[in-house]
Structure 1
Amino acid sequence: MTNILIELSRYLIIIAIAVYTYKGFVIFRITDEKEKENILRVQNHLMFAIHFMAYLILFLSTNQIEIVFFYLLQVVFLSAVIALYRVIYPRSSKLLINHMCMLLSISFIILTRLSYTKSIKQFKIVIVSMVITMLIPYLFKKIKFLDRLGFVYAGIGIGLLGLVAVAGSISYGAKLSFSFAGVSLQPSEFIKITYVFFVAALLSKSQELKQLLIVTALAALHVLILVASKDLGGALIYFITYAFMLYVATKEYLYLTGGLLSGAIAAFIGYRLFSHVRVRVIAWKDPFSVIENEGYQLSQSLFAIGTGGWFGMGLYQGIPNTIPVVDQDFIFSAIVEELGGLFGLCVILICISCFVMFMNVAMQAKERFFRMVALGIALMYGFQVFLTIGGVTKFIPLTGVTLPLVSYGGSSVLSTLIMFAIIQGLYILKQEEDEKVEKIKADAARKTKQAAKKRKQQQESK
């Protein structure tokens, strides 16, 4: 019976997430608010259906009653997040909330499959992170001086990165984190946010050559410290984000071309200087020829993806734990192996939908600073997704970054939730501004109508 349910669940879960993803793109062309609400409600039902089917299989495969209680706690948590956002922030983007919860539910499912202990730890971190980030949209309405702290953001970022470079713990050849009482913290995940704010604050004030040189020097210092720490994946994300933010701020193709060219030169120098970069390039070129050494991790990832096919092996039917660091950098491979290539494709499309919404907020923001902040966050998020999935599928060399909201890691999930909350804050501000404009237009139209009516009455009385 269990085998039948596992087999059936493979197809039902894929159908459910395919419909969910389709609805997530259809809603962009819907203008009727009631129809939008219906789509959002259907998405919620589909998310909880996927969540239920997956945890039913997890329970039947392990016979651990703890999984049932863990599942119920997740249902309460996800329901509370959706409800609280709707109550506290009625003007928030409901689609973005749905996507955030969907990605978190996928994370809980696959982490429970890989390591129940780690999934419990991740769930606790997500709860704390959500409580913290729930305040951010409110703070965006109250704090009016965020655009005046450009050098403060830069100082915080450079200081913390420098501290990690000097005294941080080494993980997989790079200095990435600090450990306090058994808790590991990766500052570069949070400095991504201060970095975006610093660039946005300074570029939104002036695009004079002197200002551009200052901003470029400070941005380069962030990147160079990351390179010195051997966090090359992070350095690449920071560099690309700045290059495109500079281009958007100045509209100068020369800056973008020069930035990308210098990035290519820097990548070549990095290849010559760092042995672990050469290892990743060797593995990327032909992982199966060095499968016993450099190519083992990537080969196992490709085996998992190939074995999963379009419909997956089913939960607990694959062997994803043969991939080193599968719960972090290679979690997408585990998803595809057991839940299927179609499921993985839907995960990518959900991430793309989030990126599109981030960019929409950036394009619609009226203040230049907020526009640049939303753009920077969109670039950070989108490029990290590209690096993660591109690396595990052999599209590009591995960079050692996590899949936002899905991979295991407290610093990663907290920083990503902060990003989502910032975008929500900017979206809410835009909605409130639009409502004020509509109210002013309505009041003006009403006064014009009243004045016309009054003139007509005066004419009739004469």
Structure 2
Amino acid sequence: MVHLIVQLSKYIMIILFLIYTFLCFHLFKYPDKPKKQKHIYNLQRFYMFLIHLDGFLVLFVTTMDTKIIGFYIAQLVLFESIYLIYHKFYKNASELVLNNMVMMLCISMIILTRISFDKALRQFVFVLAGTIFAFLIPLIMQKGTMFRKLTWTYAGVGIVGLLSVLVVGVASRGAKLSLTFGPVSIQPSEFVKILFVFFIASMLYKSTDLKQLAITSGVSAVFVLILVASNDLGGALLYFFTYLVMIYVATKRFYIFAGGLAFVGLGMYAGYHLFSHVKNRIVAWLDPLSVIDKAGYQVCQSLFAIGTGGLFGFGLGQGLPNKIPIVSKDFIIAAISEEMGGIFAVCLIMVCVSCFLMIFNLSMQMKDAFYKYVALGLGSVYALQVLLTVGGSTKFIPMTGVTLPLVSYGGSSLLSTMIIFGMIQGMYIMQAAPEKRRNIDDKRRKDHETKNRQKQTAKEPGAQGSQQRRRKPAAGSKNSTKTQK
């Protein structure tokens, strides 16, 4: 009976997620129909909560652990609270971005609870903290006016944060990534990447001449080199590509982008010969089976999980995700593919793509150049992080150790991504507010012009005569009869 429930539930989740994903893109067909859009958003939320319910129902049936029921209810209350607060205070926020954020959090809670209930519980605490940031940041962005002026503050705080990891950071898998404070571990590079985007945006906002580009490139190089010195090559790659995208869009000079790609190639070649763990990852990428007992073990286990799961997966609780080292962080997409199916995993990737398209569209619509660059940079960070995680898990590119935003386990990654989504919502609200003000101003101007025309018409001699004629009593009226008498 349990096996039947598990097998039936996986098909239900796949069908629901396919519909949800279709609606993410079908929505773009109705750009000027708010009622139709609202209907689609409501449908998405309905399917989302059904997926969430289905996943935890299966987890409870397979484990018969009553803690799962309480955990599910706590999540449901939190997610409903997110919608209530956003709809109450941020009416101009993007509903699709909000739906996708909650959808990915639902999937994260399902798969992490399957892998480790304790990890899922800790992740839920970070979701609570991230929710507070997601609520406060749009308000701060509306009230704050100093963000474009803090150029060197962004650079200074960011560089100090990365240097602190280089000097006193804790090494993990050959790289210094985090700072440890008792039981709490923080990965500063996850937050510094936001400061990095704001620094470049504020520099490009001021000017895009050769001198400004040289200064921007020099300071950006300091960020990247510190990450390289810390052996955080995945982070260095993320920062460098974000810099390239922002510079290229601001200058429209393709030779800068091409030169950056060539520089990345040279960096990979140098890293292959200078860093042993980089060499191991490249060897594991080229031929993981040749080093399956060493560097290729993670990649091989990931590929086995994706391959054996097939299109429909084994069902929650029926696979072996814990056979993959660090599955809850770097290889979360492999665990999802094994148990929830390859179709489900592809839908998750497409939801990430729809998020990037929304952020990119926001960047194109922003009138303020500073926030245009900020949106572009944050969208690039998000898209590159998804690409590096999925590409590394599927052997499309060498493994970089980057996590899947909002889905993988990790407090720093989750908090930084929710901060990014809060900033995106803040910019959506800022972008919608001037439009609303313009509509009000247009209405007031039209009303004012109408009143002026009426006054001018009333002052014209012909108009006065016509008004007098209109006021003159008709021949058959009582007043006319009295006058004749």
TM superposition score category, shorter chain reference: over 0.9
Counterpart for residue 46 of structure 1: 47
The alpha carbon displacement at 1:287 in A equals 1.2
> Relative to structure 2, which stretch is displaced further, 131-140 or 65-74?
131-140
Q: How does 1:248-259 map to 2 (within 5 A)?
A: 248-259=249-260
> Relative to structure 2, which stretch is displaced further, 49-58 or 434-443?
434-443
Counterpart for residue 397 of structure 1: 398
Counterpart for residue 113 of structure 1: 114
1:70-122 Cα deviation digits (max 9, x unpaired): 00101001111111111111111111110000000000000000000000000
1:461 to 459, 464, 484: 464
Counterpart for residue 363 of structure 2: 362
Counterpart for residue 282 of structure 2: 281
Alpha-carbon distance between aligned partners in 1 of 2:452 and 2:36, rounded to the nearest angstrom: 37
The alpha carbon displacement at 1:18 in A equals 0.6
Counterpart for residue 13 of structure 1: 13
Q: Which residue identity is paired with 1:371? A: K
Q: Which residue identity is paired with 1:228? A: A
Counterpart for residue 24 of structure 1: 24
Q: Please state if 1:203 is matched with 2:204.
A: yes
Alpha-carbon distance between aligned partners in 1 of 2:454 and 2:428, rounded to the nearest angstrom: 39
1:249-285 Cα deviation digits (max 9, x unpaired): 1121121121221121112111111111111111111
The alpha carbon displacement at 1:387 in A equals 0.5
Counterpart for residue 474 of structure 2: none
Name structure 2 gaps, 5 residues minimum.
466-485
The alpha carbon displacement at 1:315 in A equals 0.3
> Relative to structure 2, which stretch is displaced further, 28-37 or 57-66?
28-37
Q: Which residue identity is paired with 2:228? A: V
Q: Please state if 1:296 is matched with 2:297.
A: yes
Counterpart for residue 150 of structure 1: 151
Q: Which residue identity is paired with 1:3? A: H
1:376-427 Cα deviation digits (max 9, x unpaired): 0000000110010011011111111000000000000000000000010011
2:356·2:379 contact (CA, 8 Å) conserved in 1?
yes
The alpha carbon displacement at 1:2 in A equals 1.4
Q: Secondary structure at 1:204's aligned position in 2? A: helix
Q: Please state if 1:265 is matched with 2:270.
A: no
1:115-167 Cα deviation digits (max 9, x unpaired): 00000000011101211331000000111011011111001111110111011
Alpha-carbon distance between aligned partners in 2 of 1:417 and 1:76, rounded to the nearest angstrom: 18
Alpha-carbon distance between aligned partners in 2 of 1:228 and 1:70, rounded to the nearest angstrom: 41
> Relative to structure 2, which stretch is displaced further, 262-271 or 298-307?
262-271
Q: Which residue identity is paired with 1:267? A: M
Alpha-carbon distance between aligned partners in 2 of 1:274 and 1:452, rounded to the nearest angstrom: 78
> Relative to structure 2, which stretch is displaced further, 27-36 or 192-201?
27-36
Alpha-carbon distance between aligned partners in 1 of 2:171 and 2:291, rounded to the nearest angstrom: 25
Alpha-carbon distance between aligned partners in 2 of 1:262 and 1:76, rounded to the nearest angstrom: 49
Alpha-carbon distance between aligned partners in 2 of 1:347 and 1:404, rounded to the nearest angstrom: 11
Alpha-carbon distance between aligned partners in 1 of 2:197 and 2:155, rounded to the nearest angstrom: 9
- TM-score normalized with structure 2 length: 0.94
Larger Rg computed on CA atoms: 2
Alpha-carbon distance between aligned partners in 2 of 1:137 and 1:432, rounded to the nearest angstrom: 12
Identity %: 47
Counterpart for residue 242 of structure 1: 243
Q: Secondary structure at 1:134's aligned position in 2? A: helix
Alpha-carbon distance between aligned partners in 1 of 2:212 and 2:24, rounded to the nearest angstrom: 41
Counterpart for residue 308 of structure 1: 309
Counterpart for residue 69 of structure 1: 70
Q: Which residue identity is paired with 2:347? A: C
The alpha carbon displacement at 1:49 in A equals 0.3
The alpha carbon displacement at 1:450 in A equals 2.7
The alpha carbon displacement at 1:451 in A equals 2.6
1:361-385 Cα deviation digits (max 9, x unpaired): 1111111110000000000000110
Q: Which residue identity is paired with 2:16? A: A
> Relative to structure 2, which stretch is displaced further, 30-39 or 63-72?
30-39
Q: How does 1:344-383 map to 2 (within 5 A)?
A: 344-383=345-384
1:31-51 Cα deviation digits (max 9, x unpaired): 211111111111111111000
Alpha-carbon distance between aligned partners in 2 of 1:207 and 1:434, rounded to the nearest angstrom: 28
1:277-299 Cα deviation digits (max 9, x unpaired): 11111111111222122211101
Counterpart for residue 140 of structure 1: 141
Q: Which residue identity is paired with 1:426? A: M
Alpha-carbon distance between aligned partners in 2 of 1:8 and 1:374, rounded to the nearest angstrom: 41
Counterpart for residue 326 of structure 2: 325
The alpha carbon displacement at 1:207 in A equals 1.4
Q: Secondary structure at 1:170's aligned position in 2? A: strand
> Relative to structure 2, which stretch is displaced further, 118-127 or 207-216?
207-216
2:133·2:422 contact (CA, 8 Å) conserved in 1?
no
Q: Secondary structure at 2:316's aligned position in 1? A: coil
> Relative to structure 2, which stretch is displaced further, 263-272 or 171-180?
263-272
2:133·2:418 contact (CA, 8 Å) conserved in 1?
no
Counterpart for residue 195 of structure 2: 194
Q: Secondary structure at 2:206's aligned position in 1? A: coil
Alpha-carbon distance between aligned partners in 1 of 2:422 and 2:366, rounded to the nearest angstrom: 16
Counterpart for residue 123 of structure 1: 124
The alpha carbon displacement at 1:452 in A equals 2.8
2:162·2:189 contact (CA, 8 Å) conserved in 1?
yes
Alpha-carbon distance between aligned partners in 1 of 2:451 and 2:346, rounded to the nearest angstrom: 57
Alpha-carbon distance between aligned partners in 1 of 2:44 and 2:213, rounded to the nearest angstrom: 44
Counterpart for residue 4 of structure 1: 4
Q: Which residue identity is paired with 2:121? A: I
1:321-361 Cα deviation digits (max 9, x unpaired): 10000000000000010000110011001000110111111
- TM-score normalized with structure 1 length: 0.98
Q: Which residue identity is paired with 2:411? A: G
Structure 1 ranges of 4+ moved more than 6 A: none
Alpha-carbon distance between aligned partners in 1 of 2:46 and 2:348, rounded to the nearest angstrom: 17
Alpha-carbon distance between aligned partners in 1 of 2:381 and 2:57, rounded to the nearest angstrom: 35
Name structure 1 gaps, 5 residues minimum.
none
The alpha carbon displacement at 1:441 in A equals 1.5
